[in-house]
Structure 1
Amino acid sequence: MSTIQAKQLEHAHAFLSHLNALNFNSVADLLAPDFTHEYFPASLTLPAGKAKRGKEDTLELFKYAWTTVFDSITFLPPMDVIQGSDAVVFHVKSDGISKSGKRYNNEYMLTFHFAGEKIVSMKEFTDSKYSDSYFAELNVL
């Protein structure tokens, strides 16, 4: 593994760690200025109807979800990690609880794309059946 690939893997792990710690400034430092975040699959009911967001919108969405929707939410350590040229893929689960006391345990495939050490995009594939049902009941996104 090259030095740059090692840094990319380190930064993908740091992304999750910083989110778990509610350290949004450190998350922002990992992202390229033109960073984009996309939700998949297309059939998912999307927060505010947006499938794709830029850096600032993504950070605001994370801040809102992690501090307003959830009492706590944590990405668990990846169950599977795949690394390629300028990309890292994590298969992860979350453990959380909403402000209303409802448990949140979703499953994701997160694909991070890099330019050098900066994350330029993240594609988030989620358990769409679980997500749609969970957030429809909360009526928050």
Structure 2
Amino acid sequence: MDPESSSTRDTQLAIAHAFLDHLTINTSSVDWAALADLLAADFTHEYRPASLAPPANQRVRNKEEMLQLFELAWSGFERLEFLPPLDIIQGQDSIVFHVQSDGISKQEGKHYTNEYMLTFRFRGEKIVSVKEFVDSKYSSEFFA
């Protein structure tokens, strides 16, 4: 592997980690502008599997739609963080994380521990897409 592609892969891995770090609510709130800076102008976000597409059955969202949806969802949490990935698979301009979340909801202080597979696609140093596979059974029961 040439040094330039190794450097690009390292940078992309750091950006994927930063994506999750920016979504952490612990001692401070989410920096939505910093998160948006990681995303390409033509960024897309997809919920998978297809049977889980909240809200209103919209599965593919653009950058602004995803940020608005996440901001709404995150407003329901007192604390939320993504734990270090259980597994990382990296290819050319793509990374897959298997991660778990740990959080506490504002309503009733319910503990939230979901599991995700996140597929990141890159163009240089910008994320152009994220496909988010979630534990749909857990999500449906938690948000019911």
2:85 is equivalent to residue 81 of structure 1: no
Identify the match of residue 106 of structure 2 among 99, 105, 117. 99
**1:110 maps to which residue?**
118
After TM superposition, give the deviation of residue 43 of structure 1 in Å: 1.6
2:125 is equivalent to residue 121 of structure 1: no
Moved more, 36-45 or 116-125: 36-45
Identify the match of residue 76 of structure 2 among 69, 91, 103. 69
After TM superposition, give the deviation of residue 49 of structure 1 in Å: 2.5
Q: 1:3 to 1:121 in 2, by over 3 A?
A: same
Identify the match of residue 44 of structure 2 among 31, 36, 39. 36
**What is the percentage of aligned positions where both structures have the same residue?**
61
Question: What's the TM-score once normalised by structure 2's chain length?
Answer: 0.89
Question: Number of paired residues?
Answer: 135
Q: Structure 2: give runs of 5+ residues left out of the alignment.
A: none
Q: Structure 1: give runs of 5+ residues left out of the alignment.
A: 137-141
Higher helix share: 1
1:79, 1:91 within 8 Å by CA — same for their partners in 2?
yes
- The alignment's C-alpha RMSD in Å is 1.2
Aligned letter for 1:17?
Answer: D
Aligned letter for 1:110?
Answer: L
Question: What's the TM-score once normalised by structure 1's chain length?
Answer: 0.91
Q: 1:18 to 1:108 in 2, by over 3 A?
A: same
C-alpha distance in structure 2 between counterparts of 1:34 and 1:45, whole Å? 20
